[in-house]
Amino acid sequence: MQTRVRSYSKINLGLAIGPPRPDGFHALSTLYQTIALHDVVSVQARPSARSRILLQSNDSRVPTDGRNTAIRMVEKALDRMGITAEVALHIQKNLPIQGGMGAGSANAAAALIGLEKELEREAPGKLLPPADRLAIAAEVGSDVPLFLIGGAVLGSNRGEAVTPVTDITYAGSTEIHAVMAIPKVGVSTPQAFRDWDQSFAVPSSLHNPQTSSTLEKLSRTYASILQQDLDFAAVKDAESGASGIFRTFGHPLEVGSPGKQQGISREQLHTQGEAQIDLAENSLLALVRTGIENDFETVVFLQHPPLREIKRQLMGSDSGQPAILAGLSGSGSALFGLYRSQGDAEAAQQRVQHDGVPAIVTKTLPRPLYWRNMFAE
């Protein structure tokens, strides 16, 4: 018997990069959103005298040794559980490698979910507490913890400090039409960070408030629009040494009293001819009005100019069927567009494909559906 887990992907609706930390990572603030495109991770596991982990994939580019995040996740989970087991993993690869969609991180989270389901049958009572699961995920990779939550997730520190937030909406729906453009070029995230550092020469100290003003602004905006009281995030942020990133959290926008908070007011929320916005119905439009963006575009588009043109095609400002929001996902190379209708999404797909770039129509995946549809037949 085996457990098959849908390994969903993500986009970054916005991402602000802070200064490099002493450990080599960067402080950042980002808003993750899971989407319906996925790999499938199959897991077979049974207790044995010693642990052995085998991994196979339909894609020869997927490492099958200790470099693979799924293997590292299983190793750490077994060690934390105090179990030895034989584990067989298979990754049905549908998502791009180095695409900025978090595919490898999602595979790791899916491997853990499948492992626990398998061992629940074989060794009841050995499941990890939620805090341990998130801690292990953070050790494996910065993007891994978000896939143990799903939906809209605010990431801070180096992205691994995660807070679930209200699912993003448009016209009252949490499933928003989307297009993923998947260029054949790969973008190295470490190289993108190096390019950022060379371009902006940010100071290494994290305790100068000036170095984190962009992160602070982005974090405050997310908190205001999504109406979350995230005071505990400020505590965690201070503990991590990333001073200032969450300094103004804990002041959600008062929907009935525009202009009283540091966030945007309801009178400001207009876009593409839409009338006044109800935040509960249209939080995506509210985000767009803040000028939400991905800092990686500044350096990645310089290194890979065709990606800028793909974003322009996704945006479709002159097409009559424009995107609500379009941008680079993570450090790329995948780009996304979010649309008002299925027809608008299909029109964007055709524009991108006309230039020879693969593009897929999909939807954002809110948290309830993320978990409801997690296990494949």
Beta partners for residue 361, in sequence order = 179
Residue 268 to residue 283: CA distance in whole angstroms: 13
**Active site annotation includes 143:** yes
Alpha-helical (H) ranges within 54-188 are 69-81, 103-122, 130-140
**Active site annotation includes 260:** no
Beta partners for residue 90, in sequence order = 42, 56
- Catalytic choice (10, 76, 93, 363): 10
- Catalytic choice (39, 143, 195, 344): 143
Residue 351 to residue 334: CA distance in whole angstroms: 16
Residue 16 to residue 212: CA distance in whole angstroms: 9
Going 83 to 70 to 158 to 19, the CA torsion angle's sign is positive
Residue 282 to residue 291: CA distance in whole angstroms: 15
**Nearest one of 364, 368, 377, 372 to 170, comparing CA atoms:** 364
The amino acid present at 63, given as its one-letter code, is: P
Contact in structure between 334 and 180 (CB atoms under 8 Å): yes
Instruction: Please provide residue 332's backbone torsions phi and psi, each rounded to the nearest 5 degrees.
Output: 85, -175
Which residues are catalytically annotated?
10, 143
